[in-house]
Amino acid sequence: MKIHSLDVYIVDLPTIRPHHLAMHTIVTQTIVIACMKSEDDLEGWGEVATIGGASYSEESPEAIKCNIEKYIKPLIIGKNPINFDALTHMIGIHVKGNYFAKALVESAMVDLVAKTRNIPSYELFGGQCHTSLPVAWTLASGDTEKDIEEAQHCLETKRHNIFKLKIGKGNPKKNVAHVIKIKEAVGEAGSVRVDINQAWDEVTSLYCIEALENGGVDLIEQPLVRWDNEGMSKLSSRFKVPIMADESLGTIQEAYQIAKHGAADVFALKVPKAGGLTATKKVAAIAEASGIPMYGGTMIESSLGTAICAQLYSTIPEITFGTELFGPLLFKDNVTANQIEYGNFEIKIPQGPGFGMEIDKEKIKHYSRDM
């Protein structure tokens, strides 16, 4: 089998409500999708998502598409995708950085290979440890009473019992008070966590994390700027509440440095930031070897990208802090004919050949744009 073609699409999907982060507010989420075809016309599909163009990562959707088409695609046309690990390594030699682009191409290769063998993609990564995983939901109205009402509805319907609040934007003390009120209302029925998206300095973090810890919050995600491992190490050693690395954690080299210097208590895994599925498994291995618990993160992917992440996370024995794979629930529409299933506070791991998702090509055509 050889790779015959590779097409890349930029797709803009509307969301059901604004999703606030420190660096951007999402009302339309951009995903990048790849379709890889073999010589016998079998298709493998991949996806990565970005946030706010280039506001979250150095790679914009436009750059991902352009760099794949100009620099990566010529390297792999005519090659056998069954050797996806070797091809990913070869791409890394010729193309520096561009981890989202590499992850997109690798995921399409993995889907294609798994489909040729008529197996789920997770069988290519050691097999399944979980058939479902806990999944968090982000409370984002900004109104305390509305967020409490939404959290209680999620608990009653058994949709979510893990709640995250994005508090990197606005007055830190007011945001902390907002979170603590929600935790008081939720009580022991749910886990309440916060994500600062790098927005605090060390002084702000000292005051706010102490208040959040005393208020019963379970996890603090990336309070400091991504390069400040020294500051993250100070916070991790000072507080009992776990500090999680997200933006500071991508490549296997970054994972090693964070583990070595104690710059986080928890690793947020994200397939695009690591550079692909294979690299993410290596990051997970570093965490396991270092005694660092893991969390299955999201870039707010659609149903396809969520299935990619879910299948990989299902091969990791210990995902202690659950996952954040709520992406499909945030979109008004999706790019697959079948949908991700949620229930009993968990996401169900998709089954079937490849990533287990049937692509709706008309939806991709409808929502895609040139650049």
pLDDT digit string, tens, across residues 64-111: 999 999 999 999 999 999 999 999 999 999 999 999 999 999 999 999
Tell me the longest C-alpha to C-alpha distance in the chain. 61
- pTM higher than 0.85: yes
* CA-wise closest residue to 191 among 156, 161, 223: 161
Provide the pLDDT for residue 55: 81
Catalytic residue, candidates 65, 73, 164, 166: 166
Residues of the chain with pLDDT under 50: none
115 counts as catalytic? no
Output the pLDDT for position 54: 87
In eight-state DSSP terms, residue 189 is G
Closest CA relative to residue 75, chosen from 105, 45, 44: 105
d(CA 221, CA 94): 34
pLDDT for 56: 82
**What pLDDT, in 10s, does the model give residues 229-257?**
999 999 999 999 999 999 999 999 999 99
Q: Are strands 266-269 and 243-245 parallel, antiparallel or unpaired?
A: parallel
User: What is the CB neighbour count within 10 angstroms for residue 158?
Assistant: 12
Give me the domains of the chain, ranges plus CATH numbers: 3-118 (3.30.390.10), 124-348 (3.20.20.120)
Which pLDDT value is given to residue 18?
Answer: 82
